[in-house]
Amino acid sequence: MVGLGRMMRRSGFEWGENMDTSISVEELADVMRDLGMTADEAASYKGVVEGILSGAAASDAFDWPEAEPVKRNWVRPDEKDNPHGAWYVQTDIKGSNIKGSKSGKLAGMRVAVKDNLLLAGVPLMNGTSILEGYEPQEDAEIVTRMLAEGATIVGKTVCEAYCFSGGSHTSATGPVLNPHNPEHSAGGSSSGSGVVVATGEVDAAIGCDQGGSIRMPASFCGIVGMKPTWGLIPYTGILGMNPNIDHTGPMTATVAENARLLEVLAGRDGEDSRQIATPEDAVAYADELGASDLAGLKIGIVQEGFGLPSSQPMVDSAVRAAAESLTSLGAEVIDMSVPLHAQAGALTFGGTQAITTSMFNLDGNLLERPDLVPEAFIEKQNNWRARADELPANVKTALISSEVIRRREGFRFLARTERGTRLLRQAYDDALATVDLLVMPTTPMTASRLPAAGASPAEVTGLAFAPLANTSAFNRTHHPAMSVPCGLADGLPIGMMFVGQRFAEATIYRAGHLFEQQHDWRNR
């Protein structure tokens, strides 16, 4: 192994230019002590470790050809033009120069994208000051698809720091204000996307969802938000938390617009490893909205989604009434029990180590996954260690807790979480074998009040996690779930969530569209 460097040279590799491949005995001894090893043996490992460092540095030989930097015009809006704090930057990127876009499926559609999507030549902050100044040089796959179908990308919306909050109070740019009441949360982490759709500033927005981050702002802001089946939409070119829970999807004012956008977003790209079980052909979802009733559809109201410690009675009663009203459209609606749903939150917390490992310990790298991650992003993200105090309290809480668990229990909770996920997935599959759709409140509450400046870590973290009670389970089990507004309580929207079998988005759209056509949620 001491001759590893010579072997690399014989193989045609060049030495890495960006890394010191030598190591002192003293540094090596420190590393060995941290690993619980006998530091007295450090000198005997020096040569072999330097050989491996040289081999790793030789990977610099595999470099992408330098491309011409992409330049696009963008502006940061003035406060007067951004009253809810929802916009990060505004753009005017038209698809008219792409073949077929003038008559594409999204012709004329103005779309905003969440600020964890790569948009070439436009800054990406992902809600954190640590990434400020990062400007990707490639587009996310779904951006390319939308432009090719005639959409105009009109800006990037504020998201919560590292997309790690169900509230809208953790972004480094400041809180995002609910358009129905600015003292309340807009929901997170796709907070800005929820707002700009609700205010009518755009026709549609893209959100990303690892625990409810499309559906929670949809619920709080009174719009439609679809978390599709895991893998249906390629995640290529989007910053994630962990590949096993990453989802992206459309946020719109109506179900029909949501279905139209999903048609363009869905389908394999040959890059995203999440798409291993994705059907080859996407469904023409908008064509599924022509049904005049819900005859033959059976819908189960999941009892465990109601009456939670954080539930508001007005929310529970509004969702139940909305679900029961589907009988007037010909559906059969029954009460049913999925006991494991009440325990699903344990999997969210049990899986926190996987999230913090991917995002922080690995600087955003996807260990042993073939997905590409921009090296420039990884270099930026690496700076978090020197700037950890810039992280909001909820992110600090997750990092601290993950490290405490690692020291006390290793990674056994991750193994337990994966086993639990399989049990939970089977529980929902068993329920969906007897009904076509499950229904429950999207969030147990309407939009909560934003915390005051200087709020305690407990309050910041509590408001970040409280809305996830019903949503996060389906990120782990990969079932599609959509929030539709179904009423108001004290002037704030209430969201009803439909959950279907994997790749049954068309059934969800059918029910959501007919409910929307028959009921004005603002007057319920």
Tell me which of 54, 105, 114, 219 is the catalytic residue: 114
Query: Which CATH architecture fits 74-349+413-523?
Result: Alpha-Beta Complex (3.90)
DSSP helix/strand/coil, 307: coil
Q: Cα(206)–Cα(512) distance, rounded to whole angstroms?
A: 19
Q: Which of 225, 229, 266, 277 is nearest to 475 (CA)?
A: 229
DSSP helix/strand/coil, 187: coil
Tell me which of 213, 311, 448, 472 is the catalytic residue: 213
Could you tell me if 208 and 160 are in contact, meaning their C-beta atoms sit under 8 angstroms apart? Answer: no
Task: Clarify whether 114 is annotated catalytic.
Answer: yes
Task: Clarify whether 105 is annotated catalytic.
Answer: no
Q: Is the four-CA dihedral 478, 482, 488, 491 of positive or negative sign?
A: positive
Task: Clarify whether 448 is annotated catalytic.
Answer: no
pLDDT for residue 98: 57
DSSP helix/strand/coil, 128: coil
Show me where the domains of the chain are located. 4-61, 74-349+413-523
Q: Cα(350)–Cα(348) distance, rounded to whole angstroms?
A: 6
Could you tell me if 499 and 480 are in contact, meaning their C-beta atoms sit under 8 angstroms apart? Answer: yes
Token pair listed for 452? 């005051």
pLDDT for residue 439: 98
Q: Cα(186)–Cα(308) distance, rounded to whole angstroms?
A: 21
Could you tell me if 487 and 520 are in contact, meaning their C-beta atoms sit under 8 angstroms apart? Answer: no
On whether the pTM is more than 0.85, the answer is: yes
Q: Which of 168, 175, 172 is nearest to 190 (CA)?
A: 168
Per-10-residue mean pLDDT of the chain, 524 residues long, equals: 34 50 90 89 89 82 77 96 98 75 86 98 98 96 97 98 98 98 98 98 98 98 98 97 96 98 96 88 85 96 97 98 98 98 92 93 86 92 95 95 90 92 98 98 98 95 96 98 98 98 97 96 86
Tell me which of 165, 189, 219, 448 is the catalytic residue: 189
Burial profile 132-146: b = 16 or more Cβ within 10 angstroms, e = fewer: eebbbebbbbbbbbb
Q: Cα(36)–Cα(60) distance, rounded to whole angstroms?
A: 31
Compute and round to an integer the Cα radius of gyration of the chain. Answer: 24
pLDDT for residue 35: 85
pLDDT for residue 11: 37
Containing 299, the helix (H) or strand (E) segment is: strand 298-302
